[in-house]
């Protein structure tokens, strides 16, 4: 029982240390720009490298506010009209991660493809 707990603790510490290291070594994060126009994301599909932290720059060109939201990416951020927002995502495993505009979920949809 103790062995199990110790191993879990060790795993947590390792993950923690690895991510601290990966953060300090990858000071230059790739930047990806997305625009919101007429409640649509442009581009609606972005490709990012796996296991890398990426800086998303989302420009809201509409006059109304929008909320960038993704359950898969665990991200949520309000972007006021005619403003930009910075959202850091990753490191991520390869896969497809949908995101959407919470205020206009029927039109504002996009995906992050990690490869």
Q: Which helix (H) or strand (E) holds 101?
A: strand 95-101
What is the C-alpha separation between 91 and 55, in angstroms, rounded? 11
Site for other proteins in 1-40 (CB under 8 A): 11-12, 15-16, 18-20, 22-23
Nearer to other proteins, 46 or 69 (CB): 69
Could you tell me if 68 and 103 are in contact, meaning their C-beta atoms sit under 8 angstroms apart?
Answer: no
Nearer to other proteins, 46 or 89 (CB): 89
Burial category of 79 from C-beta neighbours within 10 Å (exposed 0-12, middle 13-18, buried 19 and up): buried
**What are the angstrom distances between the C-alpha of 21 and each of 26, 27, 96, 109?**
8, 10, 26, 34
> How far apart are CB 3 and other proteins at their closest, in Å?
19
Site for other proteins in 35-64 (CB under 8 A): 53, 55, 63-64
What is the C-alpha separation between 62 and 106, in angstroms, rounded? 16
Nearer to other proteins, 35 or 67 (CB): 67
Judged by CB under 8 A, the number of residues near other proteins is: 38
Applying CB under 8 A, the residues found at the interface with other proteins are: 11-12, 15-16, 18-20, 22-23, 53, 55, 63-67, 71-72, 74-75, 77-80, 83-88, 90-93, 102-103, 105-106
């Amino acid at each position: 029982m103790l062995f199990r707990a110790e191993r879990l603790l060790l795993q947590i510490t390792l993950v923690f240390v690895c991510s601290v290291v990966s953060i300090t070594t990858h000071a230059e994060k790739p930047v990806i720009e997305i625009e919101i126009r007429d409640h649509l994301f442009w581009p609606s599909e972005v490709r990012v490298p796996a296991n890398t932290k990426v800086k998303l720059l989302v420009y809201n060109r509409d006059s109304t506010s929008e909320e960038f939201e993704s359950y898969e990416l665990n991200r949520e951020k309000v972007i006021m009209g005619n403003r930009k927002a910075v959202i850091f995502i990753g490191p991520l495993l390869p896969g497809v991660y949908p995101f959407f505009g919470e205020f206009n979920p029927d039109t504002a949809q996009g995906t992050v493809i990690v490869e």
